[in-house]
């Protein structure tokens, strides 16, 4: 079985699960909805939603992924010779996404200082497409799930790096302060008379929810569970034909693939052709 976003979407339609906490409490003793959402995304891609044998599921994970991450460094997982995936949980449909010290990524690069060495060396790669999987989950239920690729969602890295550099350079121009080398925006040592206190200056990035960003192309239905994916046409056509044909042949009145135009994140005056894939129940 191929491991990619198209097969994962097919698994959502064929095996819709919204009570994540109950589902994963029984299998993995997962009590946290954030962890349950990550496990669900892994199972969607690995094709292990119905695999009850933990050893078999772990072997399938090892085949499907070259890296599964940690909470402090993006991404959350990397498909073997495929895309990177970053999972974000929010509790209300209109909430923004907290990205902490990592700016939003159009692509994942090995040169990114925010990824760890295990990700950097998980396989031979220099650049990967990154998929943001954003789930609205509160209590025991997943009510909304949105897939969007970074290249359709975020500007190029230089836009964010320029802002960071401008802020960092400006901070270091403040006179009469003792600065230390740091990966953060700044660190000021010896703040107090004893010289024992320091100040860390960190960037905390955030980005609007994709449902809000793409509201001009997608209006969520009022259903118990809503899924949507926006994939630019070039990326969509890069997936294996067999997987696209299987997805397009799915028969469900609540599943639909339509053509839309989306704004280029680097120049909103230019539009890109894209697929809007929706499913609800």
- At 63-94, the pLDDT tens digits run 999 999 877 789 999 999 999 999 999 999 88
CB 281 within 8 A of CB 16: yes
Question: Average pLDDT for residues 199-224, to the nearest whole number?
Answer: 93
Task: Evaluate whether residue 245 is within a structural domain.
Answer: yes
- Number of structural domains found in the chain: 1
For residue 22, the model assigns a pLDDT of 79
Task: Evaluate whether residue 187 is within a structural domain.
Answer: no
Task: Evaluate whether residue 83 is within a structural domain.
Answer: yes
For residue 27, the model assigns a pLDDT of 64
For residue 236, the number of C-alpha atoms closer than 13 Å in the C-beta half-sphere is 23
Task: Give pLDDT tens digits for 35-57.
Answer: 889 999 999 999 999 898 989 99
Residue 272 token pair: 């890109």
Task: Evaluate whether residue 166 is within a structural domain.
Answer: no
Q: What is the span of the domain harbouring residue 120? A: 5-154+205-280
- Give the position of tokens 């209006």: 219
Task: Evaluate whether residue 133 is within a structural domain.
Answer: yes
Task: Evaluate whether residue 190 is within a structural domain.
Answer: no
3-state class of 176 per DSSP?
Answer: coil
Task: Evaluate whether residue 222 is within a structural domain.
Answer: yes
Which residues lie across from 197 on neighbouring strands? none
Cα 150 from chain centre = 8
Task: Evaluate whether residue 80 is within a structural domain.
Answer: yes
pTM, two decimals, is 0.93
Helix residue spans in the chain (DSSP H) = 5-14, 20-28, 33-46, 54-64, 117-120, 150-153, 157-172, 210-213, 233-238, 241-248
């Amino acid at each position: 079985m191929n491991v990619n976003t198209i097969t994962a979407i097919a698994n959502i339609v064929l095996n819709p699960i919204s009570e994540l906490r109950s589902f994963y409490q029984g299998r993995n003793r997962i009590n946290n909805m954030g962890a349950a959402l990550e496990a669900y995304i892994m199972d969607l891609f690995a094709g292990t939603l119905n695999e009850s044998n933990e050893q078999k599921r772990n072997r399938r994970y090892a085949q499907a992924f070259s890296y599964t991450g940690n909470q402090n460094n993006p991404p959350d997982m990397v498909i073997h010779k495929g895309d990177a995936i970053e999972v974000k949980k929010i509790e209300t449909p209109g909430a923004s996404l907290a990205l902490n010290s990592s700016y939003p990524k159009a692509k994942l690069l090995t040169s990114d200082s925010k990824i760890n060495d295990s990700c950097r060396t998980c396989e031979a790669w220099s650049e990967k497409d990154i998929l943001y999987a954003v789930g609205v989950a509160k209590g025991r239920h997943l009510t909304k799930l949105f897939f969007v690729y970074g290249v359709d969602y975020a500007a190029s890295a230089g836009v964010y790096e320029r802002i960071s550099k401008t802020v960092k350079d400006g901070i270091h121009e403040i006179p009469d302060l003792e600065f230390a080398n740091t990966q953060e925006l700044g660190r000021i040592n010896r703040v107090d008379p004893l010289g024992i206190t320091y100040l860390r200056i960190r960037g905390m990035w955030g980005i609007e929810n994709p449902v809000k960003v793409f509201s001009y192309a997608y209006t969520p239905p009022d259903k118990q569970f809503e899924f949507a994916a926006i994939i630019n046409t070039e990326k969509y056509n890069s997936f294996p034909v067999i997987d696209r044909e299987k997805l397009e042949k799915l028969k469900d009145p609540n599943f639909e693939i339509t053509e839309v135009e989306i704004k280029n994140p680097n120049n909103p005056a230019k539009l890109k052709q894209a697929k809007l894939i929706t499913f609800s129940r």
